[in-house]
A and B are shown apart, each in its own frame.
Chain A
Amino acid sequence: MKKENGFIWKLGMFVTIGLLLLISTIYFIGKRQNLFGSTIHLKAAFKTVSGLKLGNNVRFSGINIGTVNNIEIISDTSVLVDVVVKKEMQKFIKTNALASIGSDGLMGDKVLTISPGIFDDSIVYAPIKDNAFIPAKSAVEMDDIMYSVKNSVDNVDIITSELAEFTYKLNNGKGALSKLMTDEKFGKTLDATMDNLKASSKGLSENMEAAKHNFLLRGFFKKKEKAEAKKKEEAAKKLEEQKMKKEDAAKKLAEDKKKKKG
């Protein structure tokens, strides 16, 4: 009899541990799918679900809070998605929440994201109810991205063709720009012109000096000088006033800090 007991408890232990392993595995997988524990259902209608599948994750603020429970097509333009969300998340999801479909990484699964809506301090949003509808925000589709990429590529095409035309004209044309770029003689002429211009402007400044001393124009120049001096003074005054203000503000701040510490 003793011998029998010896093997029976070993067998019992073996069976118990094996069954516990199996049950815990099933429990944890079930927990992941929200089959156990209290949950709430939320619904959202999308134009397209972009490959969302049953069992995909539902995210709120980047945390997985549930899974997609059912996807049902209602009409040719709307698909109803039913999601199961943990009950403890109910108080965080407000009535102004928005649902959108995105993808998890480049190759990853699709995820349904519930994001808080535009927040307005004046309104207190109530937590969402069970079986409530969440307005859907249409996600950026791959097609949309491709379409905009195509647009910009088309533009680039036009720009490059125009650029090619422009450079061709530049190289072979007879306009001023092409002359500037290619004609050596023109460059030399331009240089000479610049020299002439320099000499003539020097002459002009001498003329002006002479004009200042001329009694007919002296009055005008004196008036101008006076006006400039006045402007400078005013500017200096303003600067000083600003400095004073800043110092006052700094003093006030210091006093406030002292009061707080006190």
Chain B
Amino acid sequence: MLTYIKNIFNDVGDVSLFTIRFFKEVFKPPYEIKEFFKQCYFIGYKSLPLVAITGFIMGLVLTLQSRPTLAEFGAESWLPGMVALSLVKEIAPVITGLICAGKIASGIGAELGSMKVTEQIDAMEVSAINPYKYLVVTRVLAATLMIPLLVVFADGVGIIGGFAGVNIHSDVNMVRYSEQVIKSLDFIDVIPAVIKTFFFGFSIGLVGCYKGFNAANGTESVGKAANSAVVVASLTVFILDMMAVQIVDLFY
């Protein structure tokens, strides 16, 4: 029992050290610009179709699901505003975070895990390349900067999905729809939602890298690293979301 608790604290300490090391290394030259762009491309651009399809479906489904309830009050005209608000504030960030936890954290975890197992990381160290800088910093930074953008895309595509959903039952033109969407949004809705996605991205990248970087030796540990990266990253997204909403709630 005691060793179990000790192990948990050990893990937490490890993660903290890992995080601190990231912040130490991120500002120190030399910068791995090329690798960073490459990771941005993989994390951002390559995830776009997945995120866009999810966002569109979420917007469409949310509109269709909430329409009957609002129609009961005769408040169908609030539908665009309500869908846009819930998309921007909560659904797009969290769904995108989860999708990226599944795609990116597992990818990074498996990649770094296999590199660790095949001793490529050790080989890097021998050939005087800082593996942490080359592998971890670029990936975490790319995830931190790309996931907010993906969320913005998911917002936009989700609102278009909402437009499609509204137009299934009634006839609203694009101008009126976008006017209602903009009318319902406020800075207090948009800004915190954007800020929290940076944290989502950071935690997804960091968890993936940590799990991969600290994979044990052996082939099965690669799978383990990828698996636990997804689980922990998804959980972190939810916990961060809860914290973010509570903090925003304090100010509003």
Chain A interface residues toward B at CB < 8 A: 4, 7-8, 10-11, 14-15, 17-19, 21-22, 25-26, 28-30, 32-33, 55
- B60-78 CB mask vs A (1 if < 8 Å, else 0) is 0000000000000000000
Is the Cβ of B153 less than 8 Å from the Cβ of A15?
no
Interchain residue pairs with CB less than 8 A apart (22): A7-B37, A7-B41, A8-B41, A11-B41, A11-B45, A15-B40, A15-B44, A15-B149, A18-B150, A18-B153, A19-B149, A19-B152, A21-B153, A21-B156, A22-B149, A22-B194, A25-B190, A29-B185, A30-B187, A32-B182, A32-B183, A33-B187
For residue B216, CB closer than 8 A to chain A, the reply is no
Chain B interface residues toward A at CB < 8 A: 34, 37-38, 40-41, 44-45, 48, 149-150, 152-153, 155-156, 182-183, 185-187, 190, 194
A22 to B197, CA, bound (A): 13
A148 to B246, CA, bound (A): 45
Contacts of A10 in B (CB 8 A): 41, 45
A33 to B187, CA, bound (A): 10
A55 to B156, CA, bound (A): 25
Contacts of A33 in B (CB 8 A): 187
Contacts of B38 in A (CB 8 A): 7
Interface of B is mostly: helix
Contacts of A55 in B (CB 8 A): 186
Q: Nearest Cβ in chain A — how far from B159, in angstroms? A: 10
Q: Residue B37 contacts which of A8, A18, A22 (CB distance < 8 angstroms)? A: A8
A11-B45, A25-B190, A55-B186 given; name 6 further pairs at CB < 8 Å: A10-B45, A11-B44, A14-B45, A15-B44, A18-B150, A33-B187
Q: Nearest Cβ in chain A — how far from B208, in angstroms? A: 20
A10 to B156, CA, bound (A): 19
Is the Cβ of A29 less than 8 Å from the Cβ of B40?
no
**A22 nearest CB neighbor, chain B only:** B152
Contacts of A29 in B (CB 8 A): 182, 185-187, 190
Is the Cβ of A18 less than 8 Å from the Cβ of B40?
no
Contacts of A8 in B (CB 8 A): 37, 41
A55 to B155, CA, bound (A): 24
Is the Cβ of B48 less than 8 Å from the Cβ of A14?
yes
Contacts of B40 in A (CB 8 A): 11, 15
Contacts of B34 in A (CB 8 A): 4
A22 to B150, CA, bound (A): 11
Given known A-B contacts A14-B149, A15-B149, A25 and B185 have beta carbons under 8 A apart:
yes
Given known A-B contacts A8-B41, A32-B183, A26 and B190 have beta carbons under 8 A apart:
yes
A19 to B151, CA, bound (A): 11
Contacts of A4 in B (CB 8 A): 34
Given known A-B contacts A18-B153, A21-B152, A28 and B41 have beta carbons under 8 A apart:
no
Q: Nearest Cβ in chain A — how far from B12, in angstroms? A: 34
Contacts of A21 in B (CB 8 A): 152-153, 155-156
Q: Nearest Cβ in chain A — how far from B142, in angstroms? A: 10
A4 to B152, CA, bound (A): 26
A10 to B44, CA, bound (A): 10
Contacts of A28 in B (CB 8 A): 182
A166 to B66, CA, bound (A): 58
A4 to B187, CA, bound (A): 38
A227 to B146, CA, bound (A): 109
Q: Nearest Cβ in chain A — how far from B217, in angstroms? A: 33
A17 to B45, CA, bound (A): 11
Contacts of B190 in A (CB 8 A): 25-26, 29
